Structure 1
Amino acid sequence: MENKIFVRIKSGDFVEALDPSRARRAVLHLTTIEDYQTAAEIPLFLDRGGERVPLKVLSVEGLSPLSSEECRLDLETRLVGRRGAEFRVVQNGRLVLTETCGLPIPGPGRRFLSAAAILAGAAALALLALLAIRGRTAGDGFMESRARAPGAGTPPAVAVTPPNPPASAPVSDGRPEPPAPAPAPSGAVPLAEAAPLAPAPADPLAAARDAFRALGDETLTIYFPADSSEILPDQTEKLRKIGAVLARYPELDLTISGHCATAGTEKGRMALSEERAQAVYEVLAAGGWKPIQRPAVEGFGDRRPATRDEDRQALNRRVEIRLVP
């Protein structure tokens, strides 16, 4: 199928990132990640009639140094308009790169005009051939009448004066008149006035997603004090702003995940992370958020740390509100 977008991975193989004939948006999980990798290059290719041509290379910087087991790197590809694409690289729910580019795909209107031009040219050639044949036939008849000499017994030619043509009628000069143009079929639309193709339907959740991203990112983080699920005043204000947006867009699909530092027992860490996630959900619901689909509210203990640095454990005491791709 033409116009698919592919990613060339480290082995040299091509992996499909988006098939525009089936969807306008797709997410590809990139698995060829090395331990503690902080940068990456993602070569993109466009399939045109079986030939894969280079499209763009995404240069990703600022990746968090995580092990290959902890790191999740996703490439989100989304069509923009008729011949554009947006690429978003997300690491563990954190947006690290957004780039757009045009797709070298001929539009349907251009193909339509090209086909119409070919048909018009063929019709003109056929008309010229018909006029040439008719002109030659008329010329042969004229020469034949001139070559016929009067012989014995041949009746004399009689001059006939034709009646004067009406003043409004054009006088013929002996050349064949071109045929009148054929009337346009009933209901036909002139090419120059043809209605443009209807644009592809927009993502119905685009406005809701953009409003959520305007708060900061696809993943919003709420931080907690040590060994506590109490929400601090500054974080409560942050949740109030998030809740105001969610109340307007109940169709958004989210996940709410709780996390904690590495101190304490595993059982205690799991319980604390679940309490933090539930506390955030309750604040959002109290602010008027009534989601169409209840979000996944769960705790992960210290299994998904933002950092392993002992001096930065405050970054692990958090809840992440993530927009589901």
Structure 2
Amino acid sequence: MRRQSAELARYASNGVPTGLGWGLYRGKQLQVALERVTATSHSPTIAAHSPPLAVTIDSLLLFDSGKTTLKSGAEPRLHAVLDLIRANPDKRILIAGHTDNVGASVANQKLSEARARAIRDWFVNTATLPVTRFAIQGYGDTRPIAGNETSQGREMNRRVEITVVPDSGTH
């Protein structure tokens, strides 16, 4: 189910495949239901030397355009990530905000950092987690994953990446 939930999240970020479109696609409703189910199931822990586990969420699912206050519908998505964080109590969490290239780079940088901070604060306040478990980073428009020439590319670039960072193995 986690794989299907991740697939629906990719569709939300990257666009629905043509064969699933035509106005009949109900992925958003399915994604919310899958997130509820997977949030109550056992979350995997990360081995000390495994690669980092990252969750990418479309910023517009969490925030209104240009805003840093979480939308009311953002909490189910964050609760699913919170379960992963709780399942890995000895790991640090990196929250990185990204934007498209619309607007001034300085404003995009500040926006992406403020959004990362808002998510960190939600985790800290909701789950009473220590703020020291989290690192935040705002990348603004400096790390696009798609071209900014199209609206679809810009949508993909507006994202938040939450990464569970494994131990370095050094003591």
- Fold similarity call, TM over 0.5: yes
Question: Which secondary structure state, in structure 1, belongs to the residue aligned with residue 137 of structure 2?
Answer: strand
Contact 1:224 1:230 in 2 (8 A): no
Contact 1:280 1:319 in 2 (8 A): no
- For structure 1, the 5+ residue unaligned runs are 1-206, 211-216
Larger relative contact order (Cα-Cα within 8 Å, sequence gap ≥ 6): 2
Partner of 1:311: 151
Give CA deviations for 1:239-278 in whole Å, capped at 9, x if unaligned.
Answer: 0122133234321222111111101111101110011100
Question: Which secondary structure state, in structure 2, belongs to the residue aligned with residue 221 of structure 1?
Answer: strand
Contact 2:45 2:88 in 1 (8 A): yes
Percent identical pairs in the alignment equals 27
Q: Does 1:220 align with 2:55?
A: yes
Give CA deviations for 1:73-122 in whole Å, capped at 9, x if unaligned.
Answer: xxxxxxxxxxxxxxxxxxxxxxxxxxxxxxxxxxxxxxxxxxxxxxxxxx
In structure 2, what residue type is equivalent to 1:209? I
Q: Does 1:277 align with 2:112?
A: no
In structure 2, what residue type is equivalent to 1:220? V
Contact 1:224 1:232 in 2 (8 A): no
Question: Which secondary structure state, in structure 2, belongs to the residue aligned with residue 228 of structure 1?
Answer: coil
Give CA deviations for 1:144-170 in whole Å, capped at 9, x if unaligned.
Answer: xxxxxxxxxxxxxxxxxxxxxxxxxxx
- Pick the aligned partner of 1:209 from 39, 46, 54: 46
Deviation of 1:307 after TM superposition, in Å, equals: 1.1
Deviation of 1:291 after TM superposition, in Å, equals: 4.8
Q: Does 1:321 align with 2:156?
A: no
Partner of 1:299: 138
Paired residues, number: 114
Range moving further from structure 2, 305-314 or 241-250: 241-250
- Return closer, same or farther for 1:247/1:280 CA change in 2, 3 Å cut-off: same
Mapping 1:1-325, distance limit 5 Å: 208-209=45-46, 218-225=53-60, 226-288=65-127, 290-291=129-130, 293-309=132-148, 310-312=150-152, 313-325=154-166
Q: Aligned partners of 1:304, 1:317: CA distance in 2, in Å?
A: 10
The structure that is strand-richer by fraction is 1
Question: Which secondary structure state, in structure 2, belongs to the residue aligned with residue 308 of structure 1?
Answer: coil
Question: Which secondary structure state, in structure 1, belongs to the residue aligned with residue 133 of structure 2?
Answer: coil
Q: Aligned partners of 1:246, 1:240: CA distance in 2, in Å?
A: 10
Deviation of 1:279 after TM superposition, in Å, equals: 0.9
Please report the RMSD computed on the Cα atoms of aligned residues, expressed in angstroms. Answer: 2.5
Q: Aligned partners of 1:292, 1:231: CA distance in 2, in Å?
A: 18
Range moving further from structure 2, 301-310 or 217-226: 217-226
Contact 1:251 1:291 in 2 (8 A): no
